[in-house]
Chain A
Amino acid sequence: MNEQSEARENRLVLAHLFLAMAALTVGAALGLLQALSRAGWMSLPRWFDYYRILTAHGVLNALVFTTFFICGLATLMTYRAIPRSRSLVVGWLAFWVMLLGTVMAAHAILSGKASVLYTFYAPLKASPLFYIGTTLLVVGTWIVLADLAGNALWLSRNRPGERLPLVVHGSVTTFVMWFIATLGVAAEMLFFLIPWSLGWTPTVNVMLTRILFWYFGHPLVYFWIMGAYLVWYNILPQFYHGRIFSDALTRLVFLLLLLLSTPVGLHHEFLEPGIAAGWKWLHTMTTYGVVIPSIMTAFAVFASFEMAARRAGVRGLFRTIAWLPWTNPAFAGPAFGMILFIFGGLGGVVNASYAMDTLVHNTMWIVGHFHVTVGAPVALTFLGISYWMIPRLLGTTLWAPKLALAQTWTWFVGMGIMSTAMHWAGLLGSPRRTDNVAYFGSTVAAAWMPQVHWAAIGGIILLLSMLLFVIVMVGTLRMPRTQSQPMTFASPEEEAMAPAPVLDHIGRWAAVAIALALLAYAGPIHELLEAHAYGAAGMRTW
């Protein structure tokens, strides 16, 4: 494998990563505007109103940033683990389709024709450009899956007897999970929203579109988490001279996430009419099941820390933690993310119990929750690991690592403050997705305003952090491209047992995943169809 073809592959990966970062940078700036507007510290002009900004923030951060980054990461892992001369046509096709979709959706949002938020709940009716663009973004990721799976198949055909490398296994499993999940949103778009927004159908079945959306919406968050897990398992151990705790456990974790991410989505619809209590209850039970791969990951990450520390002669919980390479920004970012993820996990357990959810549904508590899951663990992992990946992809070294370290600290502190304040405001009843939350001097609202102000302070720190990241990246881009550093992934500890070959048959696991999704959704969807609900005409209310 020569350096030239590696450089060609790097360009594709860099295109994904830089697009992801550009989206996040714009998204973060918009996030600050929201936080300031809610606090009453600024008022937004009519031509750039709160809900247009909030739609852009959700789409850019939750859909564009995460998706492009994970596509770049999985492509890089798969290409490096299967060195061969390959055509990049499929890879670039995917990139351009995703980019085209993003530009279409962004245009619709920024021109004010799609202030429907990133959940685009019908019957709010956006311009067809928005729905078609978002669908293209998803279709592009299917092409990425085809590329990854094609490489994995090439390996099994041309190197019989060789196991699927761990990073390829994780990447392909992540994208298979994603594919099964996106079938829901694709159906929502193609059969309902797109024809309706084009005026071909007069009304839309609102509850059906909502259930299809949440069929996709929950695994969407696991897609982000699996991207972070790919980094935690396969890249981080190198920074502390460690190894992956267990080959078999890592594969099993990804497969369990494939199985359990989808049949849980009704926990987002606890407070909705039209869905019988029994189905909601069933999804509560399965939701708690998704905890298993996450507690396995918590164990594996800590075991990997500890085993490496012991090899270095360090023992004890606090000494092990202190021994870790906290001055390396590529380690510190993801590690800070893990710390915040503990709170994310606890909050998730609260949200999943319907009695508690009734108190926090659609309050700022929920916004606090996902900033402490995707906004911190996932974003910090991706930003941190960029300090390792980007210089290697460019053939240079990181510019100003101290500044990079300061970036991880400020993000950690800023997100800590902002999401704590958001959780708190939510407990006091402050609604989410709402511009002015003072309710014109209401005394109930007065109770949560201090927290809304604290959230804005956290937001200011976060934007400074984002700027630090951009400065470090620009500096790194301007470094001479002379040093090519190797890009390797961590290898597992010696196994106590030979890993079972069944772990490598991703297709069979996918079949079980589809069966579980059908079991969980066939009933409630059938009942919704049987209800012969009235359609809703749809309107533009902004």
Chain B
Amino acid sequence: MHRAERRWLQAGIATLIAFLALIGVAALHDDIVPPSHVETIDPTRVAETPPFDKPGLRQTGPHSYEAYIVAHIFSFDPAHLTVPAGARVTFYATSPDVVHGFFIPGTAVNMMVVPGWVSSATHTFRRAGTYLMLCNEYCGAGHHFMYGAIDVR
């Protein structure tokens, strides 16, 4: 092996190890792990299964909320939410038909909504304003009509 080649590789692998170490520390020490939620639901009975039988917003604490969203072709139920600024909202979403996406641009709420499964993500809405919430996985002919809004007051 040429000397220059060995140096280049050593530098590359050292960077790589530094990266991996960082991810490792972030995971073990700061609990920064990939998003994951493992919970099943019968996709043919979403409308009868609590809490998705009554989709919408619930307050669970002074500043914390849970939002249950049913994503179906081609709309979200509910398509409109209003929360106060500073609210920490945990979203739970599922689909009775095909795969959808649930994405709020400008936040880290971005998840795949898969029939048979419940997805979850949390966000604290600090800034007031109107947020777009949209389906970012192709779900059929009306996919681009599938959007809604969150008003943060």
Which residues from chain A sit less than 8 Å from chain B, CB to CB? Answer: 49, 51, 54, 115, 117, 121, 123-124, 206-207, 210, 245-246, 249, 269-278, 280-281, 284-285, 288-289, 291-292, 295-296, 299-300, 303, 353-355, 358-359, 361-363, 428-437, 439, 442-445, 496-497, 531-537, 539, 541-542
Contact with A along B55-77 (1 / 0, CB 8 A): 00000000000000000010000
Distance from B24 Cβ to chain A, minimum over Cβ atoms (Å): 8
A433 to B16 alpha-carbon distance, docked (Å): 33
Closest to A436 in B: B144
Question: At the interface, yes or no: B124 with Cβ under 8 Å from chain A?
Answer: no
Q: Establish whether residues A277 and B132, one from each chain, have CB atoms under 8 Å apart when the complex forms.
A: no
A291-B12, A428-B105, A431-B101 as given contacts; A273 in contact with B132, CB under 8 Å? no
Number of A-B contacts (CB under 8 A): 198
User: Contact partner of B35 among A271, A285, A289, A541, CB < 8 A?
Assistant: A271
User: Contact partner of A299 among B9, B27, B42, CB < 8 A?
Assistant: B9
A274-B114, A355-B32 as given contacts; A292 in contact with B134, CB under 8 Å? no
A44 to B36 alpha-carbon distance, docked (Å): 38
Question: At the interface, yes or no: B81 with Cβ under 8 Å from chain A?
Answer: no
- 12 A-B pairs (CB sep. < 8 Å): A117-B138, A273-B36, A273-B118, A280-B36, A281-B23, A288-B20, A303-B4, A431-B134, A433-B137, A444-B132, A534-B40, A534-B43
Which residues from chain B sit less than 8 Å from chain A, CB to CB? Answer: 1-2, 4-5, 8-9, 12-13, 16, 19-20, 23-24, 27, 32-44, 73, 97-99, 101, 103, 105-106, 108, 110-112, 114-120, 130-132, 134-144, 147, 149
A206-B115, A280-B34, A281-B34 as given contacts; A289 in contact with B16, CB under 8 Å? yes
Distance from B112 Cβ to chain A, minimum over Cβ atoms (Å): 5
Contacts of B135 in A (CB 8 A): 431
Distance from A188 Cβ to chain B, minimum over Cβ atoms (Å): 15
A506 to B33 alpha-carbon distance, docked (Å): 36
Q: Establish whether residues B5 and A249, one from each chain, have CB atoms under 8 Å apart when the complex forms.
A: yes
Closest to A354 in B: B34
A276-B36, A541-B141 as given contacts; A439 in contact with B147, CB under 8 Å? yes
A281-B33, A296-B9, A431-B134 as given contacts; A276 in contact with B38, CB under 8 Å? yes
A361 to B101 alpha-carbon distance, docked (Å): 10
Distance from B123 Cβ to chain A, minimum over Cβ atoms (Å): 10
A296 to B120 alpha-carbon distance, docked (Å): 40
Q: Establish whether residues A542 and B34, one from each chain, have CB atoms under 8 Å apart when the complex forms.
A: no
B13, B20, B117 pick with most chain A CB within 10 angstroms: B117
Q: Establish whether residues A124 and B98, one from each chain, have CB atoms under 8 Å apart when the complex forms.
A: yes
A274 to B113 alpha-carbon distance, docked (Å): 11
A276 to B120 alpha-carbon distance, docked (Å): 13
A299-B5, A429-B103, A435-B144 as given contacts; A270 in contact with B136, CB under 8 Å? no
Q: Establish whether residues A292 and B37, one from each chain, have CB atoms under 8 Å apart when the complex forms.
A: no
Contacts of B34 in A (CB 8 A): 270, 277, 280-281, 284, 354
Other than the given A291-B12, A534-B40, A541-B73, 12 more pairs (CB < 8 A) read A51-B141, A117-B138, A206-B99, A270-B34, A271-B119, A273-B117, A275-B38, A362-B103, A431-B136, A442-B147, A534-B42, A541-B139
A430 to B132 alpha-carbon distance, docked (Å): 11
Distance from A32 Cβ to chain B, minimum over Cβ atoms (Å): 19
A51 to B140 alpha-carbon distance, docked (Å): 8
Closest to A283 in B: B34
A443 to B105 alpha-carbon distance, docked (Å): 12
Closest to A437 in B: B144
Q: Establish whether residues B5 and A271, one from each chain, have CB atoms under 8 Å apart when the complex forms.
A: no
A496 to B1 alpha-carbon distance, docked (Å): 7
Distance from A66 Cβ to chain B, minimum over Cβ atoms (Å): 21
Closest 9 CB pairs of A and B: A429-B105, A541-B140, A280-B34, A431-B136, A277-B36, A273-B117, A362-B136, A444-B132, A295-B12
Q: Establish whether residues B23 and A353, one from each chain, have CB atoms under 8 Å apart when the complex forms.
A: yes
A292 to B10 alpha-carbon distance, docked (Å): 10
Q: Establish whether residues A121 and B134, one from each chain, have CB atoms under 8 Å apart when the complex forms.
A: no
Q: Establish whether residues A124 and B140, one from each chain, have CB atoms under 8 Å apart when the complex forms.
A: yes
A271-B110, A432-B136, A434-B136 as given contacts; A277 in contact with B117, CB under 8 Å? no
A207-B114, A439-B147 as given contacts; A295 in contact with B98, CB under 8 Å? no
